[in-house]
Amino acid sequence: MIEVEHLTKRYGPVTAVDDVSFRVEPGEILGFLGPNGAGKTTTMRILTGYMPPTEGKVTVAGFDVLEQPIEAKRRTGYLPETPPLYPDMRVRDYLTFVAKIKGVPRGEVKARVDRVMKKVYVADMAERQCGRLSKGYKQRVGLAQALIHEPDVLILDEPTAGLDPKQIIETRQLVKDLAGNHTIILSTHILPEVSQTCQRVVIISKGRVVAVDTPDNLTSRVGGSETIYVQVDAMGGDVQAALAVVPGVTGTGIADTSGTVVGLEVQIASGQDIRRGLAAAVVNQGWGLLELRSMRMSLEDIFLHLTTEEARHSDEAEETTTGGEEAVEPVDPEVMNG
């Protein structure tokens, strides 16, 4: 549905996007992941025909965006980082205007506007001026704008940026519902979003693609061994000793202690699930088992791993220290669960 071949964009001496290639299959949701300034927005702008590439070729729904821009744009819906709303226009008038310039047949405009307003839950704000909407509603009207001509391809630039948690969940659900009928590219720097909504991930750093894979494959590819977090109501040294002898454990370390509660990170050989063994070991000692969960390498870690690895490649002069360990931030449990 979308084919990007050797895409390069230079602004004068600065290369924003450097030889990027990937494909998106029909009905797929592709996550476009990268730190700020990695070239996500530039790539998306090229895909939508907003700006031409310096080199390379982009085909959307079978149409080259440079050679047949009108046909390609007809089949593309685009939600830029800031929703492109006219502050003085009412929501209904705005969507009617967009429907007309996107080529919705005149007779269908009204029905289409009503339908899309229901779909993204903005029907109750139809007569409100766009400039007076809350951030969440603006984003939804922005999404309505991208959907109104029922495009084959949807390109969403950070669709959940600036929304509150409830709106984020709603938006994600909306995006998931849209897949199937639409092929979606979604950029973000919120990682759980990608693992929850996307089937495949493109990680981009400094204008280059550093990985293209499914979230699961990325996790197993980068994360060699696994870690289990155990929180026990007992003294630290004892617990460490007790758990070290459980079959399958390759190492233990104290992660945190508070009062009589101790948290340990237990390294295990990959592919084994020894949570039962660990639980039994704790309970047999008569300690209270407060928490036991798998700490699979999160997308966050993979992301940092890949992007910092890239940085090292490009800067050989830097010291070659141990793996990527010091760059990997401790995982924020809330983000992990998010």
Residues that bind other proteins (CB under 8 A): 9, 11, 42, 45, 48-52, 69-71, 73-74, 76, 78, 80-89, 93, 97-98, 100-103, 145
Instruction: Report in angstroms how near the CB of residue 171 gets to other proteins at its nearest.
Output: 19
Burial of 97 (0-12, 13-18, 19+ CB in 10 A): middle
Strands (E), 68-205: 76-79, 153-157, 183-188, 200-205
Instruction: Report in angstroms how near the CB of residue 102 gets to other proteins at its nearest.
Output: 6
Q: Which is nearer to other proteins, 99 or 246 (CB)?
A: 99
CA 156 to chain centre: 11
Instruction: Report in angstroms how near the CB of residue 122 gets to other proteins at its nearest.
Output: 17
CB atoms within 10 A of CB 71: 15
Measured between its terminal Cα atoms, the distance across the chain in Å is 31
Q: Which is nearer to other proteins, 206 or 305 (CB)?
A: 206
Q: Which is nearer to other proteins, 141 or 282 (CB)?
A: 141
Q: Which is nearer to other proteins, 71 or 309 (CB)?
A: 71
Angle (CA) 120 124 127, round 5°: 110
- Those residues with Cβ within 8 angstroms of residue 113's Cβ, 6 or more apart along the chain or in another chain: 92, 95, 96, 99, 148
Instruction: Report in angstroms how near the CB of residue 155 gets to other proteins at its nearest.
Output: 9
Instruction: Report in angstroms how near the CB of residue 197 gets to other proteins at its nearest.
Output: 23
Q: Which is nearer to other proteins, 63 or 287 (CB)?
A: 63
CB 61 within 8 A of CB 75: yes
Instruction: Report in angstroms how near the CB of residue 225 gets to other proteins at its nearest.
Output: 44
**Distance in angstroms (rounded) separating the CA atoms of residues 175 and 270:** 34
DSSP 185-245: EEEES-HHHHHHH-SEEEEEETTEEEEEE-HHHHHHHH--SEEEEEEEES-HHHHHHHHHT
Alpha-carbon distances, residue 200 vs 23, 25, 203, 251 (angstroms): 10, 10, 10, 33
Bridge partner list, 257:
262
Q: Which is nearer to other proteins, 100 or 115 (CB)?
A: 100
Instruction: Report in angstroms how near the CB of residue 175 gets to other proteins at its nearest.
Output: 19
Instruction: Report in angstroms how near the CB of residue 278 gets to other proteins at its nearest.
Output: 53
Q: Which is nearer to other proteins, 73 or 200 (CB)?
A: 73
Q: Which is nearer to other proteins, 51 or 254 (CB)?
A: 51
Q: Which is nearer to other proteins, 76 or 205 (CB)?
A: 76
Instruction: Report in angstroms how near the CB of residue 287 gets to other proteins at its nearest.
Output: 58
Angle (CA) 319 17 215, round 5°: 75
- Those residues with Cβ within 8 angstroms of residue 131's Cβ, 6 or more apart along the chain or in another chain: 85, 87, 88
